């Protein structure tokens, strides 16, 4: 598939099937703004949940936080963002932080929408240490919206002006930064693979001195072969003690960690894995997109009119819909009643199960393939006799008959495999 073609196909599928729409589309849109529809939102939530599970809930050295988008502007002054968070534009540098104002009349002051979630983490370092008494090394994690007035937003949800980030600031003893940098360097690809990104298309780039952000002493970008070029998907930065020291100077508040055994006061150093949610969604969609001849060659061809089929091969754990239940014919009340019963039972155990009786079976398969639903369950006349149903596998198109009572277990098993 030509690379441009792939991008066009994914963008069009996202709109057609309700994943992502252009923001304010009926008014001609607004550059760099996109809206997530039902399935895109479910996909995005699953990607975020897997991240949170991997990096926060399954560990015992991590603390979650959800901080305000608008911070005291002094914080951005201290962190160097007001002077340095800028991209080249003609002769001048253009600061890409969005300005807003807080308060009314004479009280009004200029403030900024945060351009990264990290800022909210650093200013809460002391609070977290005082509340939880963590032992080094430990991390603080945040998922949230950030805003960047990008000079040239482009490539669908790759470069946008309103985005979400998933970031960890991992605090370590200064002498141990290399060890933990290497540890995170292995964990990042582990997550990317688990979320369903094609790892043959992911490459590490050791970012040269001149191109690193002002706060970083070492950065590795994890790049992905997007159809429009090999570009940064997420990054791993060694931020030294830059931020804590800067906020200490700016606020006058001591931001240190006190070693409980020696009483020594340390300004920890920081390793930062930083992921963009929207870029991850795009890489997952591009990795999952496939076309094959199933619609032409199999028994499904007669109903699917022999077209090439399009499918999204999501890992079941992040698929927006886990299973769809169909009555073979929707004008046979006994089939519909039985299918509804099986559907309700399944949905109570596996929430993202969907009812689908729209169009013939071939059309329903096409639709579910495009949504990326791993399993389709059909209730037919045989079900009324012996309580068995067919389960059709998205990727192979293969079908098998199973006891309706075993469905929950079979699907749970399939979901746990990823």
Residues of this chain that bind ligand ATP (CB under 6 A)? 148, 150, 159-160, 163, 165, 232-235, 274-276, 278-279
**Contact between residue 380 and residue 402 where contact means Cβ atoms under 8 Å apart:** no
Nearer to ligand ATP, 143 or 389 (CB): 143
CB of 29 to ligand ATP, least distance (A): 16
**Contact between residue 234 and residue 279 where contact means Cβ atoms under 8 Å apart:** yes
Q: In three state form, how does the secondary structure of 235-297 look?
A: EEEEEECHHHHHHHHHHCCCCCEECCCCCCEECCEEEEEEEEHHHHHHHHHHHHEEEECHHHH
CB of 75 to ligand ATP, least distance (A): 17
Local structure of residue 32 (DSSP, 8 states): T
CB of 279 to ligand ATP, least distance (A): 4
Nearer to ligand ATP, 144 or 295 (CB): 144
Nearer to ligand ATP, 125 or 275 (CB): 275
CB of 211 to ligand ATP, least distance (A): 9
CB of 52 to ligand ATP, least distance (A): 17
Nearer to ligand ATP, 243 or 300 (CB): 243
Could you give the CA distance from residue 183 to residue 296 in angstroms, rounded to a whole number? 47
CB of 183 to ligand ATP, least distance (A): 19
Give the 3-state secondary structure of residue 342. helix
Nearer to ligand ATP, 216 or 317 (CB): 216
Nearer to ligand ATP, 160 or 354 (CB): 160
Give the 3-state secondary structure of residue 158. coil
Nearer to ligand ATP, 278 or 356 (CB): 278
Could you give the CA distance from residue 203 to residue 233 in angstroms, rounded to a whole number? 10
CB of 69 to ligand ATP, least distance (A): 15
Q: How far is CA 168 from CA 62, 179, 316, in A?
A: 9, 16, 26
Could you give the CA distance from residue 219 to residue 188 in angstroms, rounded to a whole number? 13
Nearer to ligand ATP, 148 or 364 (CB): 148
The DSSP H or E segment spanning 391 is: strand 388-393
**Contact between residue 269 and residue 174 where contact means Cβ atoms under 8 Å apart:** yes
Show the tokens assigned to 83: 């002077």
CB of 298 to ligand ATP, least distance (A): 39
Q: What is the dihedral of CA 308, 297, 327, 409, to 10 degrees?
A: -100
Q: How long a stretch of residues is the chain?
A: 418
Q: Which long-range contacts (CB under 8 A, 24 or more apart) does 389-396 make?
A: 389/342, 392/365, 394/311, 394/313, 394/368, 394/369, 395/311, 395/313
Q: In this chain, which residue has its C-beta nearest to ligand ATP?
A: 276
CB of 378 to ligand ATP, least distance (A): 40
Nearer to ligand ATP, 168 or 294 (CB): 168
At how many degrees (to 10) do helices 277-288 and 38-52 cross?
110
């Amino acid at each position: 598939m030509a690379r441009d073609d792939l991008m066009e196909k994914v963008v069009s599928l996202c709109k057609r099937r309700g994943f992502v729409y252009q923001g304010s589309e009926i008014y001609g849109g607004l550059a760099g703004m996109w809206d997530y529809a039902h399935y895109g939102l479910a996909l995005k939530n699953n990607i975020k949940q897997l991240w949170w599970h991997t990096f926060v809930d399954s560990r015992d050295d991590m603390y979650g936080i959800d901080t305000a988008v608008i911070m005291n502007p002094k914080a951005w002054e201290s962190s160097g963002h007001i002077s340095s968070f800028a991209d080249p534009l003609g002769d001048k540098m253009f600061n890409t932080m969005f300005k807003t104002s807080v308060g009314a009349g004479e009280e009004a002051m200029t403030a900024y929408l945060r351009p990264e979630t990290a800022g909210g983490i650093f200013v809460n370092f002391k609070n977290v240490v005082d509340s939880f008494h963590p032992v080094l090394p430990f991390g603080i994690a945040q998922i949230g919206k950030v805003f960047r007035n990008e000079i040239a937003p482009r490539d669908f949800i790759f470069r946008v002006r309103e985005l979400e980030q998933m970031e960890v600031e991992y605090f370590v003893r200064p002498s141990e930064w290399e060890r933990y940098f290497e540890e995170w360097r292995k964990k990042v690809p582990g997550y990317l693979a688990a979320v369903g990104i094609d790892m043959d298309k992911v490459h590490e780039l050791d970012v040269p001195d001149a191109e690193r952000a002002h706060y970083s002493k070492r950065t590795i970008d994890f790049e992905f072969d997007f159809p429009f070029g090999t570009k940064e998907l997420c990054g791993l930065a060694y931020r030294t003690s830059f931020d804590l020291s800067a906020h200490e100077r700016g606020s006058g508040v001591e931001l240190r960690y006190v070693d409980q055994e020696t009483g020594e006061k340390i300004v920890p150093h920081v390793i930062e894995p930083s992921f963009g949610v929207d870029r991850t969604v795009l890489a997952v969609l591009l990795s999952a997109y496939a076309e094959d001849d199933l619609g032409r060659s199999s028994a499904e061809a007669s109903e699917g009119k022999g077209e090439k089929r399009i499918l999204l091969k999501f890992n079941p754990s992040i698929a927006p819909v886990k299973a769809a239940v169909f009555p073979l014919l929707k004008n046979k009340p006994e089939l519909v009643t039985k299918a509804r019963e099986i559907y309700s039972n399944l949905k109570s155990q596996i929430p993202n199960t969907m009812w689908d009786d729209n169009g013939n079976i071939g059309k329903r398969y096409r639709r579910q393939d495009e949504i990326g639903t791993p399993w389709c369950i059909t209730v037919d006349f045989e079900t009324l006799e012996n309580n068995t149903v067919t389960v059709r596998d998205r990727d192979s198109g293969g079908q098998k008959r199973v006891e309706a009572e075993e469905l929950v277990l079979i699907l749970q098993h399939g979901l746990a495999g990823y």
